[in-house]
Amino acid sequence: MHARGSLVSHFQVQRSRAFGSCHAMATDVKEALAAPLQDLPAVDFAFAYGSGVFQQPGNLILSRNEAPMVDYILGVQMPTRWHSENIERNPHHYNSWLSWFGGKGVSYVAEKVGAGVHFNAFVPWKDKMIKYGVIGMGDLAEDLLTWKSLYISGRLQKPVRFLVDNWDMAKVNQVNLHAAASTALLLLPSQFSEEDFYAKICGLSYMGDIRMLFAEDKNKVQRIVKGSSKHFHRLYRAPLFHMAAEGILELPRTFGDVRSLIKRDCSPYATKSLVRSLPETILQKMFPYVRIRHNSELLLSSGEASEHVQRAIRSIVRSSSTKQMLSGLLAAGALNSLQYVWKKTMKALRSRAPRKSD
C-alpha cells in the first residue's frame, strides 16, 4: 500500500499542530470548568470530561430536568496527604465512615480494593453537581504507558479538557493515543470510515466493562463520537498521519469528513508493525510465556491479532471495572451508590427503549 507522495506531504505540513490541539478552548470556558478546583487542595494534573463538558446528541432528552454532572480526574503526587487535607477542608465530600479513617484509609481502599482511583460523587458546587476522582501521578503515568488498568488511559483516549498539567502529561498521553490508534486499526477491517475508527477507539475502555451489562447507556459510544467528532479528528490526525507516512494505511483526500473511507494494510508486515506499538500489559496478556521483544514475530495474520487483542483488553477492563465498582461501593456508601446506580440504570433503560415515531 502506498500512502506517500503529495497527499502525505500535505498531511505532514499539519502534523506539528496536531498534538494536543483538541484541548484548546476559550479562557472563560477553562476558568469556569477549573473553578471548583479552587476549593480543593492543590493538584498536579486535572482534566474535565464527559457529557457535562462535551454536548452529546440526545443528552437534553435524557436529562431534561437536570444538567449532567461535571466529571473530573485529579492527579496528585501524594494521595494520602492530599486526602487528609481535603477531609479537613471538605469532610462532606466523603462518606462519613471512610473519612473517619483519614487519608490513609481513603488511599488504601482506592489502591488495594479499586483501580487506584478514589471518587467523590454528587458533590454540590454552586448551581451544579460535580464528581472527581483522585489518583497518584505515578499510577497515572503507568496506566498511560502500559495500560495496566485502562481506566484513566481509557478516558484520555477520548476528548477531554485539560485544566492543570504541571507534569506535562499531555506529552506522555501521546504514547497512549498512538497505542489506541494502533489497537483500533487491528480491530477494524481493511476499509472503514473515520467515524468507525473513532467509535472503535471510544469503545476500547468499555470492552469487558461489567457496568455495560446492566447500568450503562448502550448508545454511549455513538453518542460520544457524534458529539465530539471534530475533537476526535484533532486528537488522532497526527497518529494517522504518521501511520500513513509509514505505509500502514491510506488516508483519503477528504480526510476530516467522518464518512470518508480509510484503507489499511492487512499484510503480516503491517500487522506486526502495529502489534509492536501495543502497550506492555496488552502484550503480556497476549503472550504470557514469551519475552516481549519477540512477541511481534508470533502473529502472522490480522485476524489472529484482532482476536488476541480483544481478549487482552476485555481481561484488563473486566478486572479494573470490577475493582473500581467495589471500591466505589465502599467509598460512596450504600445511599450514594444506590442513587448513582439508579440514575445510570434509568439512563440505560431509556437508551434501550424503542423510540416513538414523530
pLDDT in tens, 57-112: 765 544 445 677 899 999 999 999 999 999 999 999 999 888 999 999 999 999 99
Q: Domain range for residue 232?
A: 6-341
Backbone angles phi, psi at 193, to 5 degrees: -85, 165
Rounded Cα distance, 165 and 311, in Å: 33
pLDDT reported for residue 6: 42
128-136 β-sheet, strand order:
118-125, 128-136, 70-76, 45-49, 161-165
Question: Domain total for the chain?
Answer: 1
* Residue 352 within any structural domain of the chain: no
Q: What's the average model confidence in pLDDT over 268-284?
A: 93
* Residue 18 within any structural domain of the chain: yes
Confidence of residue 218 (pLDDT cuts 50, 70, 90): confident
Lowest mean pLDDT among 78-82, 149-153, 247-251, 351-355: 351-355
> Which of the listed ranges 124-128, 175-179, 208-212 does the model predict with the highest average pLDDT?
175-179
Within 10 Å of residue 355's Cβ, how many Cβ atoms? 8
Q: What's the average model confidence in pLDDT over 209-222?
A: 78
* Residue 331 within any structural domain of the chain: yes
* Residue 358 within any structural domain of the chain: no
| Residue 58: alpha-carbon gap to chain centroid | 21
* Residue 179 within any structural domain of the chain: yes
Rounded Cα distance, 268 and 127, in Å: 55
pLDDT reported for residue 23: 47
186: cell is: 487491528
Q: What's the average model confidence in pLDDT over 274-296?
A: 78
Q: Is the pLDDT of residue 187 over 60?
A: yes
Task: Quote the pTM value.
Answer: 0.85
Amino acid at 25: M
Rounded (5°) CA angle 29-30-34: 120
Confidence of residue 26 (pLDDT cuts 50, 70, 90): low
| Residue 239: alpha-carbon gap to chain centroid | 17
Q: Is the pLDDT of residue 147 over 60?
A: yes
User: Are the CB atoms for 309 and 209 separated by under 8 Å?
Assistant: no
* Residue 183 within any structural domain of the chain: yes
pLDDT reported for residue 38: 97
* Residue 160 within any structural domain of the chain: yes
Q: What is the mean pLDDT of the chain?
A: 85
Per-residue exposure over 264-282, b if at least 16 CB sit within 10 Å of its own CB, e if not: bbbeeebbbbbbebbbebb
Lowest mean pLDDT among 71-75, 185-189, 300-304, 343-347: 343-347
Q: Is the pLDDT of residue 299 over 70?
A: no
Rounded Cα distance, 295 and 290, in Å: 7
* Residue 347 within any structural domain of the chain: no
pLDDT reported for residue 132: 98
Q: Is the pLDDT of residue 331 over 70?
A: yes
